[in-house]
Amino acid sequence: MRLRVLLDGHTVGTLESTREDGVVFSYDRTWLSDPAAYALSISLPLREKAYPQGRSLPFFAGLLPDGELRRRIADYLHVSETSPLRLLAALAGECAGTVSLVPEGGEAEDFPASDADDGYEELPPARLAEIFDRSDRIPLLAPRGGARLSLAGAQDKLPLFARDGRWFRPRGPGPTTHILKPEPKAFPGLAHVEFLSLRIAASLGLAVPAARVMDFGRPVLVVERFDRVAEADGSITRVHQEDACQALGIMPDRKYQADGGPGFAELAALVRRSCANPAGDLERIVDAALFNFLLGNCDAHGKNFSFLHRGRRIALAPFYDLVATTFWEALDTKLSMRIGGEYRIERVDASAFAAFAAELGVKPAFVRERGERMTSLSGPAWTSVAELPESNAAPAVVASMEAGWMRRARQLGPA
């Protein structure tokens, strides 16, 4: 099988399965000759020589859903979950960033985002409620009506285009503007926990996507896509992105540091050598580590940190999938990325963050000052969050999250 790889509709290379070398990726010579050409991934610099499977597969496998969701979609499509090319051919039309894949010889159609009635199918609220209700049987990302949608992650989600309060699903590869995440039955309260996690992050100055909770028969978190930009003429521009595992050439099933995934030191090194503003993005990495610790987010792994590519200019993306996982007492409190050698969140203290600073190559005083700033601002931030309408719908959730935050803030006392 051979797939054409496109960035925002432009052919940049081919991905194919070979008998001798497995799955290989090659850049298109026309793309390489363009002075404005840029790499598909930090882990796949522009070059004429083909990339072997060990270098190619991490980026492309990272476009697909993770774990159990990937298995469910593969079962629904009657495709082996161990066949990434067949899954990519079935799903990888509208992905994260600007990437799409089409079978060799296939046409890369596009529908203008400003013409929703022609390129999209409208989904009224009752229809969305029906789709979410049956998502336990039919995965939301399973192809329907010609649309091919692929988003990484273990939680089922539905990318849609929004206009004037109406919701549309693309009939083809037209761009979407929002990601809808219905609350799983196994985690009651998740929609509000994630919403409040995002809002407290925004209140503390972290860059995060806008979000809200809506009712479609069950709570649904609606998140604006940060890799899509609405233009003045109503069209949507895609922005290329990749997560840290893709950028480092790490397979998605190794996203946790204990399994060989990236830690904060690897993230910091990646920022220093790749980002246009490494000092600013390194500060954001420090803030993210402090915030996730205080929030009680033990699931901040390598695929929850991404990079935006605007041509050859690379920057750390807004933070996403922020969830206070310690809200559910049954969940493990082992951190996805250790802090100063410590994996257990209840054991992290000021000395762990001092060791964390050394790993990142920054001064411990800098990390300490960022932590003190965040904790000093958290009181007013929680007050503002508690006044939101969504908080009125879930006061016990807010109280539990704030209590956990304050408890962990006390762990950052003098080392």
Dihedral angle computed from the Cα positions of residues 61, 62, 67 and 70, in that order, rounded to the nearest 10 degrees: -60
Rounded to 5 degrees, φ, ψ at 33 are -80, -10
| pLDDT tens digits, 371-394 | 999 999 999 999 999 988 888 888
Residue 349 catalytic? no
Q: Where are the alpha helices (DSSP H) in 78-139?
A: 84-91, 116-119, 125-133
Which letter, b or e, does each residue of 189-199 get, where b requires 16 or more Cβ atoms within 10 Å of its Cβ?
A: bbbbbbbbbbb
Residue-level pLDDT at 276:
97
Residue-level pLDDT at 144:
63
User: Quick check: 264 pLDDT over 90?
Assistant: yes
Mean pLDDT of 169-192: 89
Contact 51, 12 (CB under 8 A): no
User: Quick check: 244 pLDDT over 80?
Assistant: yes
Lowest mean pLDDT, pick from 28-42, 142-156, 298-312: 142-156
Residue-level pLDDT at 78:
76
Angle separating helix axes 67-77 and 84-91, nearest 10 degrees: 80
User: Quick check: 42 pLDDT over 50?
Assistant: yes
Please give the Cα distance from 340 to 316 (Å, whole number): 22
Name the segment(s) of the chain with CATH classification 1.10.1070.
241-411
90 — pLDDT class (breaks 50, 70, 90): confident
The per-residue DSSP string of 321-332 comes to ----GGGSTTS-
The SS3 of residue 109 is coil
Q: Name the DSSP class of 36.
A: T
96 — pLDDT class (breaks 50, 70, 90): confident
114 — pLDDT class (breaks 50, 70, 90): very low
137 — pLDDT class (breaks 50, 70, 90): confident
Residue-level pLDDT at 106:
55
Name the segment(s) of the chain with CATH classification 3.30.200.
116-224
For domain 116-224, the CATH architecture is 2-Layer Sandwich (3.30)
Q: What percent of the chain has pLDDT over 70?
A: 92
CA atoms within 13 A on the CB side of 301: 23
pTM of the model: 0.92
Residue-level pLDDT at 55:
95
Mean pLDDT of 129-143: 80
Mean of per-residue pLDDT scores for the chain: 89
Counting beta carbons within 10 angstroms of the beta carbon of residue 110, is it exposed (0 to 12), middle (13 to 18) or buried (19 or more)?
middle
Q: One of 227, 287, 299, 349 is an active-site residue; which one?
A: 299
Mean pLDDT of 114-119: 57
CATH for the 241-411 domain, from 3.20.20, 1.10.3470, 3.40.50, 1.10.1070:
1.10.1070
Element at 201 (helix H, strand E): helix 190-203
Contact 168, 120 (CB under 8 A): yes
Please give the Cα distance from 49 to 30 (Å, whole number): 14
